[in-house]
Amino acid sequence: MSRTDLVLVTNPADAAIAAYRLEGESLTPLAVSGGLPGTSTFVVDQSRDLVYAGVKGDPAGIQTLALDRETGVLTPLSRIDVEASMAYLTLAKGGRLLLGACYHGGYGAVWPVDEDGRLGEPAARIEFANLHAVVATDEHAYFASLGDDLIAQYSLADDGTLVPLDPPTVAAPAGSGPRHLVLSADGRNAYLLTEFSALAIRFTRDPATGVLTLAESVPGHDVTRGLGHSVFGADPLEHHYIWGADLHLTPDGRRLLCSERTESTLTVIDVAPDGHLLDQLAVADTEPQPRGFALSSDGDLVLALGEKSTAIALSRLEEDGTLTLLSRIPTGLGANWVRVIPLS
């Protein structure tokens, strides 16, 4: 196993991002970069070693940081203020555009990025209730609205302008709470995880028009544990409700993994060669309240965090979909977001 990755983990309760080196099946701490209050979501421009991190505060902001791949140290470069903190950030157009989804503010935006990583004035702004995620290709952008139970779909111009597609939105099941999205490598499928029902839903995607069409769904949680369907504003832990969080597709597209926070599980779903969702393969217990997790660059390993844990669970994803725990590596407080940067 020759893969070597750099792993970045946000620890918002420590106002820091921690860096690790993943070599083989060993995860080694490198550095902790502080001074990032309430940081959660972040995205990495791997071609320029720039990190864009959403930070909370008064005012909230987006911080641009320089990444040293050897040491894992992050150095602040610039910052802009935003009206409310970001729930999700992603890049498009070779890093020339930054897209954000704001949950509490109910808006999405697109910022141009200059050669030094500085963000300009927003080129576009949209509004939907409780936007929780945004993903993009070079031609299209998709925003998941938890509050409106939909995905808003747009064409994305070089200058960051957003133009609604036809239709402009695609509905998710009523009351499901769309949360996170991922796109398949071939661009022909999009996968959504809902928060209130933890459904993994596939949408087919027309690569030419960008339009999404609802296809099928598979539960992304353990259906044997008696979890109830959640509702907006309810405390999922108090009521033992479903609390879906994150999802990731393996690089080969054969497995879709989903996290659920009330029972602290990762669910592995089988995916057909055409992207069709098949059955659950396995469910594994993981770190308490796993808001975020990630896969190694080759998809062989899973790194799971827990908002109520101070460890990263490193596991091997077996051929049958089961997870074999390899180690638990200490991390900071409130860990909730992780990104993996391939080094070799």
Residue by residue, pLDDT tens for the chain (344 residues) are 578 999 999 999 999 999 999 999 999 999 999 999 889 899 999 999 999 999 998 999 999 999 999 999 999 999 999 999 999 999 999 999 999 999 999 999 999 999 999 999 999 999 999 999 999 999 999 999 999 999 999 999 999 999 999 999 999 999 999 999 999 999 999 999 999 999 999 999 999 999 999 999 999 999 999 999 999 999 999 999 999 999 999 999 999 999 999 999 999 999 999 999 999 999 999 999 999 999 999 999 999 999 999 999 999 999 999 999 999 999 999 999 999 999 98
Fold of 174-285: Methylamine Dehydrogenase; Chain H (2.130.10)
- In DSSP notation, 209-229 reads T--EEEEEEEE-S-TTS-PBP
Domain ranges of the chain: 174-285
The pTM (predicted TM-score) of the whole model is: 0.97
Ordered strands of the 140-145 beta sheet: 131-136, 140-145, 150-156, 162-171
Neighbours of 185 (CB within 10 A): 12
Spatial CB neighbours of 220, under 8 Å, sequence gap ≥ 6:
193, 198, 199, 200, 244, 247, 256, 258, 260, 267, 269
Does 167 sit behind a cis peptide bond, omega within 30 degrees of 0 on the bond before it?
yes
- Cα 153 to the center of its chain, rounded Å: 18
C-alpha 329/C-alpha 331 separation (Å) is: 7
Neighbours of 201 (CB within 10 A): 24
* Rg for the chain, CA atoms, rounded: 19
The dihedral through the CA atoms of 291, 193, 95, 108 has a sign that is negative
Spatial CB neighbours of 3, under 8 Å, sequence gap ≥ 6:
22, 23, 24, 296, 297, 298, 300, 342, 344
Evaluate whether 162 touches 170 at the Cβ level (below 8 Å): no
The three-point CA angle 13-55-19 to 5° equals 60
